[in-house]
Amino acid sequence: MSIATEFAAEAHATESAPEQAIEGRSQWYLTWRRLRHDRVAVGSVVVILIITLLAIAAPLFVSLTHHPPDSTYPLTGTTAAGLPVAPGVHGFWLGTDDVGRDLFIRILYGARVSLFVGVVTTAIAAAAGVSMGLIAGYFGGWVDAVLARFIDAVLAFPYVVLALALAVVLGPSLPVIIGVISFFSWAAISRIVRGQTLSLKEKEFVEAARSLGASPWRIMFLDILPNLLAPVLVLATLAIPQAIVFEATLSYLGLGIQQPTPSWGNILAEAQNFYQEAWWFVVFPAAALLITTLAFNLLGDGIRDAMDPRTERVFAAGRKRRRRGRAPARTVAVTAAAGGPEQPSSAAS
């Protein structure tokens, strides 16, 4: 289905309901439509939902298997040589770890940590990144100069090194990891929001708001921010897997979640001494980590593609001019879906 027909269908739908917003809805609506037709993105959503449900239902599986995450089973959970038992043996669905704990249950509980850290740090980073980016971009001048340098410095600073330092001073813990990861995630969002704000604040609608007497805060959050939601959504979706990888890495290095609380990172850290004897000990947590991050990354890419037809425009460089000149409905659909600060076209009326 071409974009033009989609738009026509959309325009038709609104005729019957004049009080409904076409443009505002169509931007999200078109994105949603395209996303629904993107099999990879839909698959990613399904995978993410399954993982989330599994993580939420972890206690359910505990009551099913009678294997709490921290309980060791020296008799059934380890072989005579003291090694982990293989998947399926003695009711351990995915086998056990080096001290005879149920690997499946531990991976489920690890998912809770990973998803929690991913979502919480991304929420913090998005809030901080958007605010700082808006402030730097809107106020400009020395505020911007200082903030922009700070953002660059944060982006260039090796996060593991800071995690090392904080782990020594404060001791490794969940709040510390969330702090470290948030601190290194907001800067990337901030940099993009700043850039977008710089261009948006030159728009006449911002000047119009100023001429009406709107305060800077009102302009930043009511006029500029709504135009930034689309790129921020993409950035946030892509920040979640990054945060999950950060957490796993820190836990792997012993700077994050500490035993006996399970985390995919610290499970893998213990597994590294057993990869010759117990492949499952390495493969299952690694697969859980990979599948989760891949699903989020694929979804983020899908949302970006659905919102930003720019890639298509480049591929179809020859069609670009024709589209601009002749097919106004199509242009509306394209710009409306772009989600960026582009000016929408006038053809709808």
Partner 1 sequence: MALIRFLIRRILTGIVVIWVVASASFLLFFARPAETVARSLAGRAASPAVLQNAINQLGLNQPILVQYGHYVSRLVHGNLGFSYYDQESVNTILKQDLPPTASLVAGAVILWLIVGLGVGILSATRARSFFDRFATFGVLAGISLPTFVLGELLLLVVFLPLNEHGFHWIQDGYVGPSGGLGQWVGHMVLPWVTLATVQAAVYTRLSRGSLLDTLGEDYIRTARAKGLSERVVIYRHAVRAAMTPVVSQLGVDLGALLGGVVVVETVFGLGGLGQVSVQAVDTDNLPVIIGFVIVAALFVVVANIIVDMCYALLDPRIRIT
Partner 2 sequence: MSVGAGDPPPQHDAGVAVGVPPGSSDAGTDDILVRVDNLVKYFPIRSAELFRRTVGQVHAVDDVSLTIRRGQTLGLVGETGSGKSTLARCIAGLIPVTSGRVWFEDRQITNLSRRKMQPFRREIQMIFQDPYGSLNPRRRVGSIIGEPFAIHGLASGADRKRRVQELMERVGLNPEHYNRFPAEFSGGQRQRIGVARALALRPKLIICDEPVSALDVSIQAQVLNLLADLQDDYGLSYLFIAHDLDVVRHVSNSVAVMYLGRLAEVGPKAPIYEAPRHPYTAALLSAAPAADPESAAQRQRIILVGDIPSPINPPSGCRFHPRCPKARDLCAEAEPALEPRLGDPDTHLTACHFPIEAGESLAAAGRRETP
- Residue 316's identity, in one-letter code, is A
In whole angstroms, the minimum distance from the beta carbon of 51 to partner 1 comes to 14
- Binders of partner 1 in range 171-210 (CB under 8 A): none
DSSP secondary structure letters along 58-102: HHHHHHHHT--TT---TTTSB-TTSPBPPTTGGG-TT-B-TTS-B
The answer to the question of residue 146 lying near partner 1 (CB under 8 A) is no
- In the block, tokens 């911002």 appear at 206
Residue 20: contacted member of partner 2, partner 1, none (CB under 5 to 8 Å, by partner type) = partner 2
DSSP secondary structure letters along 99-168: TS-BHHHHHHHHHHHHHHHHHHHHHHHHHHHHHHHHHHHHH-HHHHHHHHHHHHHHHHS-HHHHHHHHHH
The answer to the question of residue 81 lying near partner 1 (CB under 8 A) is no
Residues in CB range of 29: below 8 A, 6 or more apart: 10
Residue 313: contacted member of partner 1, partner 2, none (CB under 5 to 8 Å, by partner type) = partner 1
The alpha carbon dihedral of 82, 86, 89, 94 has a sign of positive
From candidates 260, 315, 319, 322, binder to partner 1 by CB under 8 A? 315
The answer to the question of residue 271 lying near partner 1 (CB under 8 A) is yes
Residue 105: contacted member of partner 2, partner 1, none (CB under 5 to 8 Å, by partner type) = none
Is the omega angle on the peptide bond into residue 260 within 30 degrees of 0, that is, cis?
yes
From the list 119, 140, 251, 141, the residue with the least C-alpha distance to 185 is 119
For partner 1, give the closer residue by CB, 138 or 252.
Answer: 252
Stretch near partner 1 under the rule CB under 8 A, chosen from 11-19, 78-86, 166-174, 200-208: 166-174
The answer to the question of residue 297 lying near partner 1 (CB under 8 A) is yes
Residues in CB range of 218: below 8 A, 6 or more apart: 209
Helix and strand element counts for the chain (H, E): 16, 0
For partner 1, give the closer residue by CB, 123 or 286.
Answer: 286
Size of the site for partner 1 (CB under 8 A): 47
For partner 1, give the closer residue by CB, 186 or 252.
Answer: 252
Residue 345: contacted member of partner 1, partner 2, none (CB under 5 to 8 Å, by partner type) = partner 2
In whole angstroms, the minimum distance from the beta carbon of 169 to partner 1 comes to 6
> What's the chain's length in residues?
349
- Residue 66's identity, in one-letter code, is H
In whole angstroms, the minimum distance from the beta carbon of 225 to partner 1 comes to 26
The answer to the question of residue 290 lying near partner 1 (CB under 8 A) is yes
Instruction: Give the separation between CA 336 and CA 85, rounded to whole angstroms.
Output: 56
From candidates 133, 241, 262, 309, binder to partner 1 by CB under 8 A? 241
From the list 131, 124, 100, the residue with the least C-alpha distance to 179 is 124
Tell me the CA distances in angstroms from 185 to 51, 177, 203, 263, one per residue in order.
23, 12, 28, 20
Residues within the interface to partner 2 (CB under 8 A): 18-24, 145, 149, 203-205, 207-215, 218, 222-223, 226-227, 332, 336, 343-346, 348-349
In whole angstroms, the minimum distance from the beta carbon of 14 to partner 2 comes to 9
Stretch near partner 1 under the rule CB under 8 A, chosen from 17-25, 81-89, 197-205, 268-276: 268-276
For partner 1, give the closer residue by CB, 75 or 169.
Answer: 169
Instruction: Give the separation between CA 296 and CA 3, rounded to whole angstroms.
Output: 26
Say how many CA atoms lie within 13 Å of 330 toward its Cβ: 16
From candidates 255, 257, 267, 336, binder to partner 1 by CB under 8 A? 255
Which residues bind to partner 1, rule: CB under 8 A? Answer: 152-153, 155-161, 164-169, 241, 245, 248-249, 252-255, 265, 268, 271-272, 275-276, 279, 282-283, 286, 289-290, 293-294, 296-298, 301, 311, 313-315, 317, 320
